[in-house]
Structure 1
Amino acid sequence: MRGQIVIAGVGNTRYGKHPDRDKIDLIVEAARTALADAGVSKDMVDGVFVKIANAAPSVLYGQKVSEALGLQPKIGCALDQGGAANVSLITYAALAIQAGMIDIALICYGDTARTGSRAVYHRPRGDDAVIGWYSTAAGYAMIHQAYRQRYQTPDEHFGIIAVTARGHGADNPDAHLRAPLSMDDYLQGSYVVEPLRRDDCCLVSDGGAAVVLMSAKRARELGHSRAVPILGLGQAQESWEVHLRSDLLRTKAADSADAAFQMAGIRREDVSFAQLYDCFTVTVLQTIEDYGLAPRGSAGARAMSDGIGTDGWLPLNTSGGLLSESGTPGLQLIIEAARQMRGEARLQVPSARFGLVSNQGGSMHTHATLILGEPQ
């Protein structure tokens, strides 16, 4: 599949609060922008792939979105893998295109988790809720604590992830939170679930996003010069709940990355930038290490010494990520990676050749990896 499928168009709404709008309305806006960016009419789309919304999920959601778009696609579906779903949907859409089942696919997501229901984030976790395991943050606090204890990690190594993301988000007019963060501010921040500070945790946002997929051959026929080729894809699932895992600091992200790098045929050191799923700061450190970009326990020190800005060792989450751009799960990272490869990002990484994206769902339950190349 390497290079045979391309991202031809991208689009997103402004992120933050949309109190008077429905999640499907946000999808329609993002889809309209993505289709215009791809230079195709909606009537050319015959595949609609939707990530299920966190706020008030519903049955037949793919069909509801298709109806709102005015489409009767050959394939219309919705997927729940948590935050891993968007890269996974791109995978399934790419396979459908390659199999000749569809011609052009729309992958989209919209949510009103900020102004709508937040129940998914603070539901009790079984019987363990009575001893404090009540929220998504509680599970990640366990992982954060395990990482800190095993590697004797200072708080600054988590803080550099938040500080950098907030700096990048401050330059993004579509970002939910455009407020720079200093290391002192981070260290003085209040705890949500100790040892997680507020700025270790991603945003809860409203917004919509969409990308358009087609074959490289179709893109050439349509005269696209900015279509971004998909070079590598990978998935792997942890499945077990956090408290059932034998090791809190080993996930299937490594297997997902291995599959993507093998398909792409590139080395880890070839990566020009990374858009890594940053639902919590510890997730980024662990993903860097699971992906083989740094030895175990060393990602934070490397980020502190060599930087993760656009001119750093590993340019990271250049539009702000989930910590600053939007807490909507994952599609914004793919869109930013595509813009970087097209040379159109607001904070452009110089001479980008290969872009790496991670998506992750649950408390590190699901994982998916995407590698993009230069437009041909």
Structure 2
Amino acid sequence: MLALRLVRGTRPVVQLRRLLVAAATAGVGFLLLCTLGYAVGHPDRSPASALRLLWCALPLAATVQFAVAVARTDPSVRPRPGLSAVGLGPARLTAVAAASTAVACTLGSAVALLLYLHLRGDLTGLPFDGAAAGLLAADRPVPLAAALTLLALPPAAATTAAGLALRPGRTDAPAPRGAERTLPSGLPWGVALVAVGLAAETYAARGGGSGLPLPGRFDGSPTGVLAGWVLTAIGLATAGPGIAHGCGRLLQAFRPGAVRLLAGRVLMDEAPRIGRPLGVVGAVLSGLIAAATVYASGPGTDAFGPLTGLGALLIVVCTTATLLTAALESRQYRARTTEALLRLGAPPTVLRTAALMRAGVLLAVFLPVTWLVGTLAALPLTG
């Protein structure tokens, strides 16, 4: 009840972010139900059904990451003076954040079920009822237990991840003075994972098969390519904080002025918080570059199907929204520093210029890295 009151009493912008989480969960739930419909309609193609379910894991992970990012920026669960006196300590606020995430994701799963039944033709009286009856195996009954189990996956995963991310004693607080000279330790591990992933893709491509293991092109495709791309994505996400930290050092190189020094120091301090979602976005873009290169080079290849397009759209939108939410969280963390600089007489244009410098150097570094990894990932499949 307390979580519902806090959800209802927040600002419209916060409510919009929660609705976006519900919409993303609805998309993932619909993909899971479509996978179930394919399995019910094609009982003789269980390997293809399993691979379709494996493809749904990527949009699910992107949605969970977005839900956690929204929960971290929720002002209603932020510790404030006096809340502990009325029983709202850190542990209780973590439970409230998890409950708010569960409410939004459960709403999305319910919408997914209604949309699925409507497109099958089980719910009539509305436009487009039964429009996808053939695709969703409308001639067969829906296994209710399996459908509810699949729909429970996104809320359960997002709620658990939000509770773990916001638990008391977590290690995402700002670094102490002097620690931001310390290079994040994930950079060498990330580079190693990227190299292993590219090697796995090359080995799998030489083993036979062609194309990417996406829905509609599962049969005969090397499943090791997907495993290699996952390793590459994890590597880029792991190396993201280190790359962002290096960008901050680059801004401060060669006799920096006040603006470059401020931009570099802030970027180095924000690297652990914004670098990981930035690395995930880079991994997603590199995968899209590789997929577009492979499909463009293949003779007579078909375009992505509607469900594949929906899954790719969910991944891109959720990862981009997670990056923007992480940037908002970083802005909230440095709000006191910004106020102190303004009180000391710093012009607002200096702060805006520093922000543009941070964005520019991140784009200048991450875009070439993303293009290089995507091109290298496509070479084993196009050669």
TM-score normalised by the chain length of structure 2: 0.24
Higher alpha-carbon Rg: 2
TM-score normalised by the chain length of structure 1: 0.24
Higher relative contact order structure (alpha carbons within 8 Å, sequence separation ≥ 6): 1
